[in-house]
Amino acid sequence: MAWKYANPVQIEFGVDSFDRLASLVGTRSYSLVTYGEPVFQQLERRLAGAAGAPVLVIRDVAPNPDYRLLGEQTARFAHLGKQPDVIVALGGGSVIDSAKVFAAAGGDFALVRNYLETQQGVERLAAIPIIAVPTTAGTGSEVTCWGTVWDEANGKKYSLARPSLYPTHAVIDPRLMLGKPQLLTISTGLDALSHALESLWNVNNNPISANHAVAAARSILDVLPTLVHDLGNLELRSRMAQAALFAGLAFSNTKTAIAHSLSYPITLHHGVQHGIACSFSLPMVLRSVRGAGGLCEDSLKQIFGDDLAKGADDLEDFLGMLGISCNPAAYEIDRAEWRALIADSLEGERGRNFLGSRERLIEASQVVRLPKAKTA
């Protein structure tokens, strides 16, 4: 088996590692991409006190960064006399994805839009360095070189992917994740679980990504049910942050696969939060890859045990106890739409990463069972 693995991001992990952020910025000019809530304003003041004031602050990041808002925000960079030396992304996945757009745009969103739609003009894209400081445990964007961009007006989703968009540094401080509400904790945690599993039933899997994925999935399955009832527990937040990081390191080399391919139209057309949209189909996919053999099946057995049919049931029960239904009808998706979504998802870029078969996936989609009751 021939394989390769690479990730250039320097990782700073640990409680209070935020205090090292100013030294990473150094004497460089920087812009800050973050949220406008009071807790983030406090962090903004802490950073400015140690590293000096940013030349620009973007505080109005929205979930699922969209063409319209990204265009308006990028125009603010255009009004600077000089582009910043570095962009600090302080927040969740939407903040880090937005920062990647700004880093590539260099003040001109039209360049990014043209590249996304035509895959032309890469030589005109900028490459402003990024320091990523995630405040949720889930997206893994701090260690990947792509960001999700939405064109909601036209019902489309794009992935902005360039090697230059790997952050130079990821500063992961579990203390910043304290106080996150239960639903956000569940959604981001399940996003990380999906990243881990999606990197395994993937044509691009490799022994290093698989090791990261197994460690991540086992930890999430162990920690998340306890964490959602003890949201202020710093040790549990630390374990969850590390698991999400490992999941990010896993899919940073494989990209995602069928569950994510399914999720995008579900988020776009049904408004289902990304972490839920990409995770409720995981038991179905797990049932479909039983017997796949090789690194995929060996790794999945390290997570779920030798009986993967039981493992899929256990995973469905795990989701059910977190309040997540695996029935598409719970998200107002009828049977005809679900069949169409599965067929379409297999044709997309992420769907083509899936190493399973169309026939087994369709067969698994017809399994109906009653999971354990919700406890979260």
**Amino acid of residue 215:** A
> What pLDDT is recorded for position 147?
94
> What pLDDT is recorded for position 372?
67
**Amino acid of residue 51:** A
> What pLDDT is recorded for position 244?
98
CATH of the domain at 105: 3.40.50.1970
- Reported as a single tens digit per residue, the pLDDT across 172-200 is 999 999 989 999 999 999 999 999 999 99
The percent of residues in the chain predicted with pLDDT above 90, rounded, is: 93
- Reported as a single tens digit per residue, the pLDDT across 308-354 is 999 999 999 999 999 999 999 999 999 999 999 999 999 988 899 99
- Residues 36 and 152 both lie in one domain: yes
Output the six-digit token pair for 346: 């297999």
Is residue 194 within 8 A of residue 260, CB to CB? The reply is yes
- Reported as a single tens digit per residue, the pLDDT across 249-299 is 999 999 999 999 999 999 999 999 999 999 999 999 999 999 999 999 999
- Residues 203 and 171 both lie in one domain: no
Name every residue whose Cβ is closer than 8 Å to that of residue 21 and which is 6 or more positions away in sequence.
47, 50, 51, 88, 131, 133, 171
> What pLDDT is recorded for position 373?
58
- Residues 194 and 153 both lie in one domain: no
How many structural domains is the chain composed of? 2
- Single out the residue in 123, 149, 175 at which a domain terminates: 175
- Reported as a single tens digit per residue, the pLDDT across 43-52 is 999 999 999 9
Residue 376: pLDDT over 60:
no
> What pLDDT is recorded for position 370?
65
Specify the pTM: 0.95
Q: Per-residue DSSP letters for 124-192?
A: G-----EEEEESSSS--GGG-SEEEEEEGGGTEEEEEE-GGGS-SEEEE-GGGGTT--HHHHHHHHHHH
- Residues 244 and 298 both lie in one domain: yes
- Single out the residue in 129, 145, 175 at which a domain terminates: 175
Mean pLDDT for the chain overall: 96
- Residues 51 and 92 both lie in one domain: yes
Exposed, middle or buried by CB within 10 Å (0-12, 13-18, 19+), for 16? exposed
- Residues 82 and 25 both lie in one domain: yes
- Residues 166 and 246 both lie in one domain: no
In a domain, 15, yes or no: yes
- Single out the residue in 175, 200, 234 at which a domain terminates: 175
- Residues 127 and 258 both lie in one domain: no
- Residues 210 and 353 both lie in one domain: yes
- Residues 281 and 157 both lie in one domain: no
Range of the domain at 219: 180-364
Q: How sure is the predictor about 375, in pLDDT bands with cuts at 50, 70 and 90?
A: low
Q: Are strands 169-172 and 10-13 parallel, antiparallel or unpaired?
A: parallel
Name every residue whose Cβ is closer than 8 Å to that of residue 61 and which is 6 or more positions away in sequence.
33, 34, 35, 73, 91, 94, 95, 98
- Reported as a single tens digit per residue, the pLDDT across 60-119 is 999 989 999 999 999 999 999 999 999 999 999 999 999 999 999 999 999 999 999 999
